[in-house]
């Protein structure tokens, strides 16, 4: 039977190139100062959702909460095979911590109503808390399996997955609807399909249409007709704000965040003095003894 999957994906700064300009004085990320990419774990989550669609049919909807520029990762997901893309964007969502982020995301899932599976990355490469997925599952009152690297079986409304942990791996079974967080290296994300890329590179959010026609000085009627034309061709990326989600503004964004990032420091570990030990039993014994003495071990 066809399955309807939702992928929650985050646009993150390209952390391979963090400069001091990355953070604003108030401890929030200066997202405009860094190139932004689709979070790596989420690419694997998208691939797992697309593989479920290949096998069982159904649809894949991708949702991101972020600034209007986050529409870029939605287009990227459409190139790879997603069927529907939704941008949650509203000033009231900004500077959210994971509690407020998960509240807003779960409100969007509730608006979609029917789904069988939600796929998240295990963690975002900038905040690294790995809290949002589990918090969304809690708010929706659905089971969750975290750190999944493989779906072992999926039929009759039951899923069995393999999850990796520090101790090894476990096979866990759950009933749908279910939230899964996916680890990197769990699969080989498919590349964007050329035909889909040619088609969906024209996909825009209403905010992007507004910006474009604003620059042309066109009228509001022009805006309506442009959006209708895009929608008719399946090229309008949906954009939901706080009013569309009917949420409690005191529970999203900075207002709904009991935690905030105070400061971020660049920690560069430099090599200090070093000591060498002979590769003999005595040498190794001496090394272990000193490490134990310094409480590096044990």
Q: Which is nearer to ligand FAD, 218 or 238 (CB)?
A: 238
Structure token digits, residue 247: 């949420």
Supply the minimum distance, in Å, between the C-beta of residue 264 and ligand FAD: 5
Supply the minimum distance, in Å, between the C-beta of residue 291 and ligand FAD: 31
Q: How far apart are CA 202 and CA 58, in angstroms?
A: 24
Supply the minimum distance, in Å, between the C-beta of residue 98 and ligand FAD: 4
Supply the minimum distance, in Å, between the C-beta of residue 161 and ligand FAD: 16
Q: Which is nearer to ligand FAD, 49 or 227 (CB)?
A: 49
Burial readout 245-279 (b: 16 or more C-beta within 10 A, e: otherwise): bebeeeebbbebbeeeeeeeeeeeeeeeeeeeeee
Q: Which is nearer to ligand FAD, 98 or 187 (CB)?
A: 98
Q: How far apart are CA 30 and CA 33, in angstroms?
A: 6
Q: Which is nearer to ligand FAD, 90 or 97 (CB)?
A: 97
Q: Which is nearer to ligand FAD, 154 or 257 (CB)?
A: 257
Supply the minimum distance, in Å, between the C-beta of residue 261 and ligand FAD: 5
Structure token digits, residue 224: 């309506």
Which residue, 55, 44, 36, 32, is CA-closest to 7?
Answer: 44
Supply the minimum distance, in Å, between the C-beta of residue 290 and ligand FAD: 35
Q: How many C-beta atoms lie closer than 10 Å to residue 169's C-beta?
A: 12
Binding residues (CB under 6 A) for ligand FAD: these are 8-10, 29, 39, 41-42, 45, 64-66, 96-98, 101, 105, 120-121, 123-124, 126-133, 259, 261, 264
DSSP calls for 33-68: GS-EEE-HHHHHHHHHHHHHHHHH-EEEEEEEES-G
Q: Which is nearer to ligand FAD, 118 or 236 (CB)?
A: 118
Residues 202, 184, 16, 99, CA torsion sign: positive
Q: Which is nearer to ligand FAD, 127 or 143 (CB)?
A: 127
Q: Cβ-closest residue to ligand FAD?
A: 127
Q: How far apart are CA 51 and CA 158, in angstroms?
A: 16
Sheet with 58-65: list strands edge to edge: 168-175, 158-165, 144-155, 178-182, 117-121, 3-8, 58-65, 84-88, 238-240
Supply the minimum distance, in Å, between the C-beta of residue 65 and ligand FAD: 4
């Amino acid at each position: 039977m066809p399955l309807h999957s939702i992928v929650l994906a985050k646009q993150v700064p390209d952390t391979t190139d963090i400069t001091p300009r990355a953070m604003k004085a108030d401890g929030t990320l200066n997202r405009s100062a860094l190139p932004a990419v689709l979070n790596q774990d989420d690419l694997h989550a998208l691939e797992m959702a697309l593989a479920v669609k290949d096998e069982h049919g159904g649809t894949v909807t991708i949702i991101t909460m972020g600034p209007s520029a986050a529409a870029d990762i939605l287009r990227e997901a459409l190139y790879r095979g997603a069927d529907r893309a939704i941008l949650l964007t509203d000033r009231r969502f900004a500077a959210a911590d994971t509690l407020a982020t998960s509240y807003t995301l779960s409100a969007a899932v509730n608006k979609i109503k029917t789904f069988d599976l939600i796929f998240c990355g295990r963690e975002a490469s900038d905040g690294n808390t790995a809290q949002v997925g589990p918090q969304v599952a809690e708010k929706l009152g659905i089971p969750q399996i975290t750190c999944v690297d493989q779906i072992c079986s999926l039929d009759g409304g039951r899923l069995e997955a393999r999850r990796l942990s520090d101790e090894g791996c476990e096979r866990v079974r759950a009933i749908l609807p279910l939230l899964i967080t996916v680890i990197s290296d769990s699969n080989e994300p498919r590349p964007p399909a050329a035909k889909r890329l040619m088609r969906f590179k024209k996909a825009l959010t209403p905010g992007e249409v507004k910006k474009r026609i604003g620059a042309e000085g066109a009228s509001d009627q022009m805006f309506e007709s442009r959006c209708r034309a895009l929608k008719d061709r399946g090229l309008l990326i949906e954009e939901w704000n706080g009013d569309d989600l009917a949420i409690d503004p005191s529970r999203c964004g900075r207002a709904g965040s009991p935690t905030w990032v105070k400061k971020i420091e660049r920690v560069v570990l430099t090599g200090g003095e070093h000591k060498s030990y002979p590769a003999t039993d005595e040498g190794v014994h001496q090394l272990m003894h000193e490490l134990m003495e310094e409480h590096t071990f044990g």
